[in-house]
A and B are shown apart, each in its own frame.
Chain A
């Protein structure tokens, strides 16, 4: 039914641009998440005592906990960052492209 429409969308230079920009953004965020996670796991595996450093001088609570919670919070905020652009800017371009191809 729609091969012709797909063909038209594919030929639209805006489509390539949209895909390139959105993919770049998504992969960049993925790389940041995986990078931070990987560094964390490496520290856990090879230098666990670093994470035992107290938060407050002479205290007991270690920096490990806020670092863990911070990672969870940061990754969530990054998903928020992604949908902000994907559901706004990118989706607007997207619907314009699709609309142009149907007419």
Chain B
């Protein structure tokens, strides 16, 4: 296996270098930056390091448990960093810095909405997730319900989330890399796809976790360094920073207060609900809870993850505020060299320009490499979650009725990750010129409406039956997708119609209650024998959820 892996890795690198050669003559094309040598060198160091880790992880991946959950052998602190890594994407670094740069405090409100799901996960979900789950969150929802039906719908929910999230990441990756590294779009997408498949196929959860940990440290370290360098220009005085920002921003004093962000309360509440409960329904995040040996470590992971995410959001907000003065008054970062015109490279670039302004090409290169590494790590986590839904839920438990051997299951999972890689690359290329902003919203909406309600009910409500779980999931899935499709984000922006059919873009405030309602309705009207047995089985499940007795333990090694 290791030899095959090395060949694969070699091919991937060759492909990368080939890309450089192909891209070289294009330097200077619109929107594409000149080849960024620092960034590329640092990125290749990251790639070599992660390939080394993948090789090491491949030696240690022997059983299905190693493959899906790193044998339950990750410590709470390591897992906390990895969870934070899964959560802090390149979009967080670039998008939220840019939001603070343009909108001021609204950017920080957005950060807080993103953040507040974590304490909730800690208090209400962490220990039960760990005590009940094994490889995928469907292990929990199907614990006492009909394996085939519940796992099928859970897998559909997971795959929907994974695919939309993957496309958004792929398109973002392609555009970002084109911009930062000066590579062709399609080459960037192929590199991301190939690396993702290598990590997941050969290294499974162990490699995915360590890639995520390294990336989280790089992102936290890089972001903090840029923030400190920028903040030092204001003498580490927040009042000076704020005064200068207000002086130099088009928004002026409005930077210091909430603005347009919550002008529409329905959208605002819906967005917060979607972010908060969507986080608790993302399959790649939920999967991370099964990599630690017990509930104690699961709680510790959320504690560390909450710290990292909260700290990073604050760093990002300070970066955005500093950029208003440092980047916003420097003509070299604007098109045509005119302060106040369009930012070079587009609206997502304040973080990158700030890195350049405070640390020159070296810092820009470093932060670009970190952004690329971030994308790789996030897509690897997604691909593993998607592949597990296919192999563990659909193949092993639905198609084979639990009769598949571990080896077969892992083989299917590896084939699935390859398949997902191909699909992600093709869709990533197909959607190059589309507006994909709605896809992340859709992923969170489906996670909050299809996955989360049934997951939380299965853990907390004795009365949930198979029929209720199916009704709830389907109602959440269909309503979330329909609302997004009929809203402005897709109906107008993608499909080119004049007026949206549905006035709101954020589905959660509508689709979550629908999912809960139908899960309840389907359950209470279910008078079958099976339903009675399912309710009866809650008692044992409850004891296991609370005490961890009988929980899937750490592997012996």
**A65-B105 contact given A52-B256, A56-B239, A60-B242, CB 8 Å threshold:** yes
| Segment touching A, from B56-64, B112-120, B496-504, B513-521 | B112-120
Closest-CB distance, B216 to chain A (whole angstroms): 16
Q: Do B238 and A61 have beta carbons less than 8 Å apart?
A: yes
Q: Do B123 and A82 have beta carbons less than 8 Å apart?
A: yes
The secondary-structure label for the interface of chain A is helix
19 sampled A-B residue pairs with Cβ under 8 A = A2-B540, A2-B549, A6-B539, A9-B549, A26-B124, A33-B119, A37-B116, A44-B262, A45-B262, A48-B258, A48-B259, A64-B256, A68-B111, A72-B310, A73-B310, A76-B119, A79-B302, A87-B300, A101-B549
The secondary-structure label for the interface of chain B is helix
**A45-B238 contact given A6-B539, A6-B549, CB 8 Å threshold:** no
Chain B minimum-CB-distance residue to A5? B549
**Chain B interface residues toward A at CB < 8 A:** 105, 108-109, 111-112, 115-116, 118-120, 122-124, 127, 238-239, 241-243, 246, 253, 256-259, 261-262, 265, 268-269, 272, 295-296, 299-300, 302-303, 306-307, 310, 313-314, 317, 539-540, 543-544, 546-550
Q: How far, in angstroms, from A76 to B128 measured CA to CA in the complex?
A: 20
Q: How far, in angstroms, from A49 to B272 measured CA to CA in the complex?
A: 21
Q: Which of A15, A62, A87, A94 contacts B257 (CB 8 A)?
A: A62
Q: Which of B256, B539, B543 contacts A61 (CB 8 A)?
A: B256
Chain A minimum-CB-distance residue to B268? A45
**Chain A interface residues toward B at CB < 8 A:** 1-3, 5-6, 9-10, 15, 18-19, 22, 26-27, 29-30, 33-34, 37, 40-41, 44-45, 48-49, 51-52, 55-56, 59-62, 64-65, 68-69, 71-73, 75-76, 78-80, 82-83, 86-87, 91, 94, 97-98, 101
| In the complex, chain B residues whose CB is within 8 Å of the CB of A9 | 543, 547, 549
Q: Do A64 and B546 have beta carbons less than 8 Å apart?
A: no
Q: Do A91 and B258 have beta carbons less than 8 Å apart?
A: no
Count of CB-CB pairs between chains A and B under 8 Å: 154
Q: Which of B253, B268, B306, B544 contacts A60 (CB 8 A)?
A: B253
Q: Do A86 and B265 have beta carbons less than 8 Å apart?
A: no
| In the complex, chain B residues whose CB is within 8 Å of the CB of A80 | 303
Closest-CB distance, B58 to chain A (whole angstroms): 33
| In the complex, chain A residues whose CB is within 8 Å of the CB of B124 | 26, 30
| In the complex, chain B residues whose CB is within 8 Å of the CB of A6 | 539-540, 543-544, 549-550
Q: How far, in angstroms, from A24 to B6 measured CA to CA in the complex?
A: 53
Q: A15-B546, A40-B112 are in contact. List 13 more A-B contacts (CB 8 A).
A: A22-B546, A30-B119, A33-B120, A48-B258, A64-B108, A69-B314, A75-B118, A78-B119, A79-B118, A82-B122, A83-B122, A87-B296, A98-B549
Q: How far, in angstroms, from A30 to B257 measured CA to CA in the complex?
A: 27
| In the complex, chain B residues whose CB is within 8 Å of the CB of A79 | 118-119, 122-123, 302-303, 306
Q: Do A49 and B257 have beta carbons less than 8 Å apart?
A: yes
Q: How far, in angstroms, from A69 to B299 measured CA to CA in the complex?
A: 23
**A86-B262 contact given A61-B243, A71-B112, A75-B118, CB 8 Å threshold:** no
Chain B minimum-CB-distance residue to A97? B547
| In the complex, chain B residues whose CB is within 8 Å of the CB of A22 | 546
Closest-CB distance, A4 to chain B (whole angstroms): 10
Chain B minimum-CB-distance residue to A79? B122
Closest-CB distance, B548 to chain A (whole angstroms): 7
Closest-CB distance, B543 to chain A (whole angstroms): 4
**A68-B302 contact given A26-B124, A101-B549, CB 8 Å threshold:** no
**A48-B257 contact given A19-B546, A98-B547, CB 8 Å threshold:** yes
Q: How far, in angstroms, from A98 to B111 measured CA to CA in the complex?
A: 41
Q: How far, in angstroms, from A18 to B542 measured CA to CA in the complex?
A: 13
Closest-CB distance, A92 to chain B (whole angstroms): 11
Q: How far, in angstroms, from A97 to B265 measured CA to CA in the complex?
A: 48
Q: Do B118 and A45 have beta carbons less than 8 Å apart?
A: no
| In the complex, chain A residues whose CB is within 8 Å of the CB of B546 | 15, 18-19, 22, 94
Q: Do B258 and A51 have beta carbons less than 8 Å apart?
A: yes
By CB atoms of chain B within 10 A, which of A61, A71, A72, A80 has the most? Answer: A72
Q: How far, in angstroms, from A101 to B38 measured CA to CA in the complex?
A: 61
